[in-house]
Structure 1
């Protein structure tokens, strides 16, 4: 209970701090009431003789009118429509008809409305603000001589050069020395970090700039970058991204980017761009405020003329509120932008949020978008036949031993197929360890024991670029790579691998070969497999009404058709060059758009637009997707949080590498627009109904001032429901 009370007063204090005239207006009610009849003078002029209390109200009204006028002029200068004229005329009219308490009530409503607006904006921006507040501001730069940018001259370049980086390596002993004492580094603003500086990041701190990990390992929380909920363990040499939060151990890293060029600053750039932009539908709301103002004055004027009572004019205007247009509409869109950010989806402008809801044709790249980013091992074909786990080939070795040996060796490679084999090797280690535990001594049919499995000894690793990799693993010479490379020097082996492995490879399969001690042992078969949720995500798109789904790929038609069938895409365009992909997207933009909802047609009429063509979106992840992403109406890049050419040219960036974010983004966009329109329609309808009631003298002027605020609250709270996760 006390916690809720404390939270209430904290928020109240913050509101008063943001809008200082609010507490002034509230407290002014005391002297106004006490001095309501105090007139220490004779008649002021004619029959008007305000008391001291009433003069206090007049002063507040004049100040508020002047403040509103100033705000209206500033809005017009920014290109927004200024309709504060309603407020100005309303509060001045209450004084003209000598309804001083009504004037005080309107002043109170004006400043409480500002407080509500500030609260709504802060609430709507909550997810975006959390990203902004997490931005790193300081860095701990190592100041030891000869390390980082303090390295000495040996080649006239100003750097002690031992490699391509231009900076000498930092030894393990030096790293331990750096991490053991705070006296070896100085804390500086993050924008003072230079390329090559060696930095220390303490437990729980945010990585200040992009860099390379020098410590043996580190655990990083990447949730601010890509929404990944589970901390990731990285090892020496790994790329470390700014915005990641360090775990429980101090880490040492070398800066490879300046603060302004680091990943988190790019994310903040997207957030700032989205916050400052205004969607077309919000600009339409601004435009509607003008006719609403005219309608309010017409109702007020007719009420005065028909009744002959000037009070009716004031009664109508104190209820007239354009806040559903001026506040609720942008609040809904900022809330929608925040919902996207919370889901790991960043947009560059609010215009994109609106356009997302009208997408009718989506193109997907195949590799890395509909499929996993790296090919996965699907089986191992042993020499002499195809085998399942536990069965052996001609040399007595089974496929788990093959995978373990190849996986250990591939950890030293940067080849695109390496990671898939490494993952398969790690799974093989688990299976081998279980089998060793069951046998109690050695693996059946081999001379491998438990120590060999858990801690293989690797020596003499050498990579022949484009051909393969070789090295000693637990005393065996292992070669992995192309067929000619692994069979080099072996006598009697057929020159065609099809003569050794009789099971043909499918159209979407590829193979790498393994030899042990100079003899061909097996081939590891890999394939591009669909993402686990790709089919489900495409079905979700169809349920949202997006039925035009196409695959664009440079891959062979046979391979592309297999993936397309698995994920549920019928329109497959394979063996394309980048220019062919561009042409496909451009031609699609000439297609006729499906039937649009009435509100989209209304918005287009109000803005003078006439979009009858199909709205296209390209979803991709690779560098070769960048031109197509830029040419589509919306380019959506699927990334793991790192900056790529695709994300630079895209209008939407998925930071968590999840294809399910594609339909989620469209659903959030549509719901945001729907809620915005609902809040505007409900707010304006209530306001017009209340104005008509006031015109017939059904609502007193003081009550009308408070009713106006209630209508504002209803429309703004409705707009904030765009924050609720229902997608």
Structure 2
């Protein structure tokens, strides 16, 4: 009952229209039927006048919409004495708007869930006390208590020994993620069954969840270009409807025929179909771990002809692993890896992390350096255990050890060279593994109509060519600077173009493509202004899923629009012969509205995504910590 009352208050104009109708029934039964016509007609004309004011404002702004048909239908039915039909048309207009709003609320459920779950409070530990503060009062370094089943308020580092976190609202992963002391925990994650302590590493405004909420807010407020399809149909549909009604009146000589046609020409299906479908599509994308910054992005995805990929971190995992150690001049493998890992502790390069992890996996202790300095893009020099260690590119190491020699590498591998105290100590080989589902994703994109693929990378041509050959990509540009990538994308003839990258280094080229997709939502990636869409989970197959959702959404939007047009025109033609009375026609148009909304709501998906997996999603690896 409370829910019904809430809906009645929210859609008060519908409630008022129904109340007027019930009042008319009571008056008719009590013998005061003469007053019913005046009440119904007066109320209908008042609503028509209110609607006409908005219509005139739109016309003055140069926007010709479909409201003129509704206003004309109400006025025509009142003038010919079809006052019951006039009230039904009013109910159709007010009810159609209410149904649209209700459908939008239903379609945006997954998007709104992110907003309503936004962390608001935190428990800060001050000495022996626990102080309740708002999330925006948390400062970096604060120690916070997160109780069982509570939402983590800010990005933080786990201080307690271990816990499990539900990150499904962030990454789309339904399996809880195990966290241990020192691991990063994301705001918006739900803690497990044990209370834990965390150390804040970001403010609420700069935390992962708030960045994603900002994207959701932008997505929900956007309007797709295809929504204006209804407006493009406004003038021809209005002219056709008025002409048909006039011809029916002229042939029959009965002005009632004019009203009978127009009550079936009200444009609610055109106005409702596209917005509901596109909001449903955005909701479905969010449910599948992809935040889309507007319905227009879905439209571009549906028409995409070319997909361009960055290599490192997109087609590959972006975390090279050690595959071989080749010591020289009396060094052994263990010693060489140990000094390299010790020196690499002071480097920010992605390879440094790989070398350190390889040493830890082998149980090798890391020695603290007396001093260290990094030469950007070249390598690192450090004093480790009284020895000067140089690690990096071949040319950089040869400057310190002239006898250094290149080592042979297989396609897809890269070498890290080492010098110790001015002597060439050898090389370590690393390989960045191809994502297991990368090839299946490209095949799925081809099935969806994206027949052209290209890879852009700053890596050497040999490495890029090896990866491209494995995936069947024929167009490759290696040794790219950011400006080169933008130039390559701008020169592609087969458009629209999708560009998939990490969202940080690839920001310029993401903006250059019609649709820029940022992978993984890590840090600045989630808030990247340049990306049109953000994949929240580190899974490249979601690119194909985004295209699939775009195609389904546009198809459903257009189907719903044409369904409304065809049914309305069909009923108008029948009504032109006097077969459908005005009141019955108005009721039939209400049914058309409902059918159109239900058709558009198919864009939400549901069973479509829960059913059989696509080739791309079938091989998706299980990701246990996607954004840590």
TM-score (norm 2): 0.82
Shift in CA distance, 411/578, structure 1 to aligned 2, threshold 3 Å:
closer
Q: Distance in 1 between matches of 2:61 and 2:499?
A: 34
Deviation at residue 80 of structure 1 after TM alignment: 6.0
**Aligned pair partner of 1:631 in 497, 500, 512:** 512
**Aligned pair partner of 1:98 in 70, 81, 98:** 81
Q: Which residue does the alignment assign to 1:137? A: 120
Asked if 2 retains the 8 angstrom alpha-carbon contact of 1:530 and 1:567, the reply is no
Aligned length: 594
Shift in CA distance, 75/407, structure 1 to aligned 2, threshold 3 Å:
farther
Answer yes or no: is 1:22 the counterpart of 2:14.
yes
Q: Distance in 2 between matches of 1:200 and 1:241?
A: 14
Matches within 5 A, 1:357-436: 357-378=302-323, 416-417=350-351, 419-420=353-354
**Aligned pair partner of 1:558 in 423, 445, 462:** 462
Superposed CA RMSD in Å reads 4.1
Secondary structure of the equivalent of 1:624?
Answer: coil
Matches within 5 A, 1:190-589: 190-194=135-139, 197-378=142-323, 416-417=350-351, 419-420=353-354, 461-462=368-369, 466=379, 482=391, 504-510=408-414, 525-588=429-492
Q: Distance in 2 between matches of 1:250 and 1:72?
A: 58
**Aligned pair partner of 1:128 in 96, 105, 111:** 111
Q: Deviations over 1:39-87 (max 9, x none)?
A: 67xxxxxxxxx62333442343234324433554676689865432322
Asked if 1 retains the 8 angstrom alpha-carbon contact of 2:343 and 2:380, the reply is no
Deviation at residue 185 of structure 1 after TM alignment: 0.6
Deviation at residue 418 of structure 1 after TM alignment: 5.1
Matches within 5 A, 1:55-94: 55-72=38-55, 81-94=64-77
Q: Deviations over 1:197-239 (max 9, x none)?
A: 5443332222333344444545332222222323334445554
Q: Distance in 1 between matches of 2:41 and 2:64?
A: 28
Asked if 1 retains the 8 angstrom alpha-carbon contact of 2:340 and 2:391, the reply is no
Q: Distance in 2 between matches of 1:544 and 1:360?
A: 9
Higher Rg of the two aligned structures? 1
Asked if 2 retains the 8 angstrom alpha-carbon contact of 1:483 and 1:497, the reply is no
Answer yes or no: is 1:710 the counterpart of 2:614.
no
**Aligned pair partner of 2:25 in 17, 22, 33:** 33
Q: Distance in 2 between matches of 1:414 and 1:300?
A: 74
Secondary structure of the equivalent of 1:113?
Answer: helix
Deviation at residue 330 of structure 1 after TM alignment: 1.1
Asked if 2 retains the 8 angstrom alpha-carbon contact of 1:365 and 1:619, the reply is yes
Asked if 1 retains the 8 angstrom alpha-carbon contact of 2:290 and 2:536, the reply is yes
Deviation at residue 111 of structure 1 after TM alignment: 3.0
Q: Which residue does the alignment assign to 1:672? A: 553
Q: Distance in 1 between matches of 2:346 and 2:177?
A: 20
Q: Distance in 2 between matches of 1:715 and 1:89?
A: 22
Deviation at residue 567 of structure 1 after TM alignment: 1.4
Asked if 2 retains the 8 angstrom alpha-carbon contact of 1:368 and 1:622, the reply is no
Deviation at residue 331 of structure 1 after TM alignment: 1.0
Q: Deviations over 1:299-323 (max 9, x none)?
A: 2222122211121122111111312
Unmatched 5+ stretches in structure 1: 1-8, 41-49, 145-173, 178-182, 385-393, 430-455, 485-493, 594-613
**Aligned pair partner of 1:663 in 536, 540, 544:** 544
Secondary structure of the equivalent of 2:491?
Answer: helix
Asked if 1 retains the 8 angstrom alpha-carbon contact of 2:325 and 2:428, the reply is yes
Asked if 2 retains the 8 angstrom alpha-carbon contact of 1:361 and 1:615, the reply is yes
Deviation at residue 18 of structure 1 after TM alignment: 2.2
Asked if 1 retains the 8 angstrom alpha-carbon contact of 2:107 and 2:280, the reply is yes
Deviation at residue 372 of structure 1 after TM alignment: 0.8
Q: Distance in 1 between matches of 2:61 and 2:153?
A: 35
Deviation at residue 371 of structure 1 after TM alignment: 0.8
Secondary structure of the equivalent of 2:518?
Answer: strand
Deviation at residue 366 of structure 1 after TM alignment: 1.2
Q: Which residue does the alignment assign to 2:376? A: none
Q: Distance in 1 between matches of 2:249 and 2:480?
A: 72
Shift in CA distance, 622/708, structure 1 to aligned 2, threshold 3 Å:
closer
Shift in CA distance, 577/110, structure 1 to aligned 2, threshold 3 Å:
closer
Q: Distance in 2 between matches of 1:30 and 1:644?
A: 56
TM-score (norm 1): 0.71
Q: Distance in 2 between matches of 1:192 and 1:311?
A: 68
Asked if 2 retains the 8 angstrom alpha-carbon contact of 1:511 and 1:523, the reply is yes
Shift in CA distance, 586/410, structure 1 to aligned 2, threshold 3 Å:
closer
Shift in CA distance, 555/513, structure 1 to aligned 2, threshold 3 Å:
closer
Q: Which residue does the alignment assign to 1:186? A: 132
Shift in CA distance, 124/459, structure 1 to aligned 2, threshold 3 Å:
closer
Q: Distance in 2 between matches of 1:373 and 1:187?
A: 39
Asked if 2 retains the 8 angstrom alpha-carbon contact of 1:480 and 1:512, the reply is no
Asked if 2 retains the 8 angstrom alpha-carbon contact of 1:319 and 1:707, the reply is yes
Asked if 2 retains the 8 angstrom alpha-carbon contact of 1:209 and 1:259, the reply is yes
Asked if 2 retains the 8 angstrom alpha-carbon contact of 1:461 and 1:469, the reply is no
Q: Distance in 2 between matches of 1:458 and 1:717?
A: 64
Q: Which residue does the alignment assign to 2:624? A: none
Q: Distance in 2 between matches of 1:402 and 1:417?
A: 15
Deviation at residue 356 of structure 1 after TM alignment: 1.9
Shift in CA distance, 718/236, structure 1 to aligned 2, threshold 3 Å:
same
